[in-house]
Amino acid sequence: MFPRRKRGFGFFDMDDDFGHMQDIMEKMMQEAMRNMESGKPSEGSPFVRGFSLRIGPDGKPVFEEFGNVVKKKEKGAEQAEEREPLIDIMNRKDEITVIAEVPGAEKHEIKTSLSKDRDVLYITVDNPQRKYKKAVRLPERVRSDGAAATYKNGVLEVRLKKEEPGKADKGQDIRVQ
């Protein structure tokens, strides 16, 4: 066990969030060590788990987890079939850009779509080696027309125009270029 250190940045305190990440990492390391000591090799693809930190629109830190590890309350974690890609959201004046890391995917395997309310972007990749799935909550509602998605070198970029006040629209698929 590692001693927990007090962390803070003056204007907000992240002790609980960093402590939670540290607890998860310690449990994963303990499980890996038990498997190595018992001679039980890991089977299948590797466990992938990570954390991202960004500052939300309210100025507070937002921690997000990604990877293919599903949390279980009592027994640690188990491997999921699908990975959650690492996501970055850029909220600009007239558009929202979502960047997702989906290495190993082919362009034709990527499906992106908007919810009916146009406040959630769905990203799925289905290929025999890697599956990705993520529902990305958008900071504002967007228009379904004029959405553009590009994919290059394992990085998916989806550009969405913000909704104009008072204009009706419905969700639709977004073609990846």
Tens digit of each residue's pLDDT (9 = 90 or more) over 95-113 = 999 999 998 899 999 999 9
Dihedral (Cα; 101, 102, 106, 111), 10-degree rounding:
-100
Q: Which residue has the higher pLDDT, 82 or 85?
A: 85
Predicted confidence at residue 177, as pLDDT, reads: 65
To the nearest whole number, what is the mean pLDDT of the chain?
76
Q: Which residue has the higher pLDDT, 68 or 123?
A: 123
| pLDDT tens sequence across 34-78 | 766 655 545 555 566 666 777 766 777 776 777 665 554 445 555
Domains of the chain: 1-81 (no CATH), 85-177 (2.60.40.790)
Choose among 141, 146, 153, 152: nearest CA to 175: 146
- 24: tokens are 């998860």
State how beta strands 120-126 and 110-114 pair: antiparallel
CA distance 27 to 34: 11
Choose among 65, 25, 67: nearest CA to 46: 67
Beta-carbon contacts of residue 72 (< 8 Å; ≥ 6 apart): 78
Q: Which residue has the higher pLDDT, 42 or 130?
A: 130
pLDDT over threshold 80, residue 85: yes
pLDDT over threshold 80, residue 159: yes
Is 156 within 8 Å of 87 (Cβ atoms)?
no
pTM to 2 decimals?
A: 0.62
State how beta strands 173-174 and 49-55 pair: unpaired
